Amino acid sequence: MENLQEATKTDNLILAPRKKRWLMSPSADKAFHTLTKSLALFLFTLVIALVASMIYNSRLSLSRFGLSFVFSSTWDPVKELFGALPFVYGTLVSSITALIIAIPISLGVAIFLTEECPYKLRPIVLTLVELLAAIPSVAYGLWGIFVLVPFMRNYINPVLEKGLGFLPLFKGPSYGIGLLTSGMILAVMIVPIITAISVNSLNSVLPSQREAALALGATRWEATQIVLLNARSGIIGGIILGLGRALGETMAVTMVIGNRPEISLSLLAPSYTMASVIANEFTEATYDLYLHALIEIAILLFIITFIVQAFAQLLIRQISKGKKS
Amino acid sequence: MLVKNRNMENTSLESKEVKEVKEVKESKENKEEAKNLKVEVEAENLNFFYGEKQALYSINLKIPEKSVTAFIGPSGCGKSTFLRTLNRMNDIIVSARVEGKILLNNQNIYAPNVDVVDLRRRVGMVFQKSTPFPKSIFDNIVYGIKINKLANSRTELQQMVEQALKQAALWDEVKDRLNDSALALSGGQQQRLCIARTLAVMPEVILMDEPCSALDPIATEKIEELIVELREKYTVIIVTHNMQQASRVSDYTAFFLLGQLIEFDETEKIFTYPKEKKTEDYITGRFG
């Protein structure tokens, strides 16, 4: 009996009411749960609504052209004929060109920053690189028109034409504007992204990986390869983010790509991208079908970015599969 | 042979320790022979600095070939730092500075004409935390063989991989899944893989920096058995926090304290009749 009483005493101590605090009740917990959940649902609904309204507002073009919209290369608003292939082509080729130029530069900078650069200089160089990401794209576009385009026209393109002109890829004539120039502008814009993310993932590689390689008789370069191998999923993530930005970039590209809806194998020829045609022709869309065709291009761009992201996720998961034991 | 017999009867802790030491003694009957062994690694008046801070004070030490030497001492006493001077791993630390000499087979490894890359192949290293590369088991072993261009053909390469894994007592456990990721192995297997990887490049000396501190007792026992076997062919130097481990596996023990080498002798002497009071205090657990 005594024992029992003591037990109840201690129980009472444990259950004794604590000091009242703000929002301390089961109903407050529930409210918190509902609040966060509805915010998440809101975002989800927003995406669904966005897609639905895009489909609704492109219904004329969807029903008129069907799948041929994607595969037709005629874009003739006067004859009311719309095909998106030149824009898809221009978008993909300019973005891939940008990646080809940006990846080696970014990796080089990232390796230099994490391996070779004196410690005191590292934050300075990294800040400079990240600053590139903060420049508005229209400023890049202006720089492209007034500096890069003449430079390409007068120096780079003639050399490419002369040396590699036998390849359809570098066939003239060149105007300075075109796929290669827009690829270069895009490269400058995505280098900071890829570099910053690569630096992060290189820094997070355990120092013992490098030491283990060195202890086996690896040279500095061979040890760096091991470090890169460890950081590869992060680096690929950075590249995909860069690609995402390149695919969607509008302003800087439209200022230097030439805006001509034609498919040409040559990188020196003018082209057009999905994002820039939407921005450029939206105000000129004087009849509904035209407007609906532009919105359908927006849907295509959405699908392409979605596929790229999904593919990237798969790739990264595949690579990091072995990492978890 | 040197590994503690777990079934051994012991009446008290003290007698257990004595018995362990006796076992070690028996296994090294040929003391004379041990003394005549060639010196493989020698430190001559070695000072080491991290920037302004001195971490090692005039270390003098002669380690015979084909033996196991344990470095013991409290944390921060410089034993790991000293270990890492033996394959110049400290070179990658910007502010590090070395004075004095380390002789490997009578050649100063800090001489200006030394090829550090080849030195590190000759003096292999196993780390506290296992460091498998994110590659397959097979490719982990192949890595060192390939960068040092040790194999002449694909068949030779495969033989070398098999031999290294057998030497590290890992072959039977992994022979059916050589192409699996090394990161899928258990902690103890990963550590043995790292030892196999080190053996594959045919080193003369193997440095081990607390190789068992992250492992469970069974995995530790396997590594200790392995260390005792390695002694037949290699000079093994092991840093350990575990004094039982030092007494189980090593022939010689060096006791470090505050950057100084306090005592270096045969393990049984260190653990039974240490000359220095500080060694005795540390071994009997009076501090550290």
Query: What is the model's pLDDT at position A10?
Result: 54
pLDDT tens-digit readout, B237-256: 999 988 889 999 999 999 99
Q: Which residue has better confidence, A152 or B28?
A: A152
Q: What is the mean pLDDT of chain A?
A: 89
pLDDT at residue A300 tops 90 = yes
Percent of chain A surpassing pLDDT 70: 93
What is the number of other CB atoms lying within 10 angstroms of the CB of residue A158?
A: 15
Interface test with A, best of B120, B193, B204 (most A CBs within 10 A): B120
Query: What is the model's pLDDT at position B50?
Result: 92
Residue type, A78: V
According to DSSP H, which parts of A135-219 are helical? Answer: 137-143, 149-151, 157-164, 179-203, 207-215
Query: What is the model's pLDDT at position A32?
Result: 92
pLDDT tens-digit readout, A161-203: 888 888 888 887 888 899 999 999 999 999 999 999 999 999 9
Q: Cα distance from A219 to chain B (closest Cα, Å)?
A: 6
Q: Which residue has better confidence, A282 or B40?
A: A282
Assign B95 to helix, strand or coil: coil
Q: Dihedral sign, CA of A168, A171, A177, A182?
A: positive
Q: Which positions in chain A have a beta carbon within 8 angstroms of at least one beta carbon in chain B?
A: 119, 206, 208-219, 222, 226, 229-230, 321-325
Q: What strands lie across the sheet with B96-104, from one edge to the other?
A: B53-64, B39-50, B96-104, B107-108
Q: pTM value?
A: 0.80
Given A208, A210, A323, which is nearest B134 (Cβ)?
Answer: A323
Query: What is the model's pLDDT at position B284?
Result: 84
Q: Which residues pair with B72 in a beta bridge?
A: B255
Structure tokens at B219: 């995995």
pLDDT at residue A292 tops 80 = yes
H or E segment and range at residue A303: helix A288-320
Given A215, A321, A323, which is nearest B120 (Cβ)?
Answer: A215
Calpha distance A196→A186 (Å, rounded) = 16
Given B131, B147, B184, which is nearest A218 (Cβ)?
Answer: B147
What is the number of other CB atoms lying within 10 angstroms of the CB of residue B57?
A: 14
Burial A62-90 (b: 16+ CB within 10 A, else e): bebbeeebeeeeebebeeeebbbbbbbbb
According to DSSP H, which parts of chain B are helical? Answer: 13-27, 31-36, 79-85, 116-122, 137-147, 154-167, 171-174, 187-200, 217-230, 243-249, 267-272, 277-283
pLDDT tens-digit readout, A222-267: 999 999 999 998 999 899 999 999 999 999 999 999 999 989 889 9
Q: Tens digit of pLDDT per residue, chain B (288 long)?
A: 444 444 443 334 444 444 444 444 444 444 444 455 677 899 999 999 998 899 999 999 999 989 999 999 988 888 999 999 999 998 888 888 999 999 998 899 999 899 999 999 999 999 998 999 999 999 999 999 999 989 889 999 999 999 999 988 899 999 999 999 999 899 899 999 999 999 999 999 999 999 998 888 888 998 999 999 899 999 999 999 888 899 999 999 999 999 999 999 999 999 988 888 888 888 888 765
